[in-house]
């Protein structure tokens, strides 16, 4: 696929040196980049790029591996966020309720605040946020060249 994207497959050099160079270049690209999907950082970055998502991997196994790894990282970050919120909630002094009814609502408000994130959806055990992102259609790279701008627009 990489050779196709580079256009090397379409080259038809007229000279012997040009033909040799094209074959050598194609062989070098295959050697250097044939296993790039196995590099975690590359596969996760491609997966999280709203312009490519799962389309950036040739192998469905590599794509699903990237989904699992990104899901695990996201789960860890959500757990850290929840732990931080719990610590902050424990450090702030509790208000003295004027009645037991107010205390009841304070308790419920705190529970809602702490359970802001659902850890995962049951079928895939992926964080819901990741599943929602992957289910959205990929955006057009031509009209949206900067993935950070896209992330800002879909943040909410």
The distance in angstroms from the start CA to the end CA of the chain is 35
The pTM of this model reads 0.58
Separation in Å, CA 85 to CA 21, 26, 88: 59, 52, 5
Please state, as a whole number, how many other Cβ atoms lie within 10 Å of the Cβ of residue 39: 13
As to burial, measured by CB atoms within 10 angstroms (0-12 exposed, 13-18 middle, 19+ buried), residue 80 is: exposed
Q: Provide the token pair at 79.
A: 């757990």
With CA atoms as reference, report the closest residue to 137 among 154, 156, 155. 154
- Residue identified by tokens 């450090």 is 91
Q: Does residue 123 carry a pLDDT above 70?
A: no
Check residue 78 and give its pLDDT: 82
As a whole number of angstroms, the distance between CA 108 and CA 120 comes to: 22
Classified as helix, coil or strand, 49 is coil
Domain ranges of the chain: 1-34, 36-91+114-156
Q: How confident is the model at residue 15 (pLDDT cuts 50, 70, 90)?
A: very high
Q: What is the pLDDT of residue 119?
A: 55
Reading the block at residue 43, the tokens are 């596969």
The number of CA neighbours under 13 Å toward the Cβ of 19 is 4
What is the spatial distance between Cα 138 and Cα 147, in angstroms, rounded to a whole number? Answer: 11
Q: How confident is the model at residue 17 (pLDDT cuts 50, 70, 90)?
A: very high
Tens digits of residue pLDDT in 72-82: 888 888 888 87
């Amino acid at each position: 696929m990489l050779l196709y994207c580079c256009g090397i497959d379409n080259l038809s050099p007229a000279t012997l040196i040009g033909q040799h160079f094209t074959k050598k270049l194609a062989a070098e690209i295959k050697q250097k980049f044939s296993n790039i999907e196995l590099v975690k950082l590359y596969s996760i970055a491609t997966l999280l790029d709203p312009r490519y998502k799962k389309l950036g991997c040739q192998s469905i196994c590599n794509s699903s591996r990237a989904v699992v790894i990104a899901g695990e990282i996201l789960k860890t970050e959500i757990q850290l966020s929840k732990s931080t919120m719990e610590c902050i909630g424990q450090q702030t002094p509790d208000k003295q309720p004027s009645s037991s009814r107010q205390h009841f609502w304070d308790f419920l408000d705190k529970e809602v605040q702490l359970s802001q994130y659902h850890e995962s959806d049951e079928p895939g055990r992926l964080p819901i946020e990741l599943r929602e992102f992957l289910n959205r259609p990929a955006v057009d790279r031509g009209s949206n060249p900067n993935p950070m701008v896209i992330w800002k627009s879909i943040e909410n």
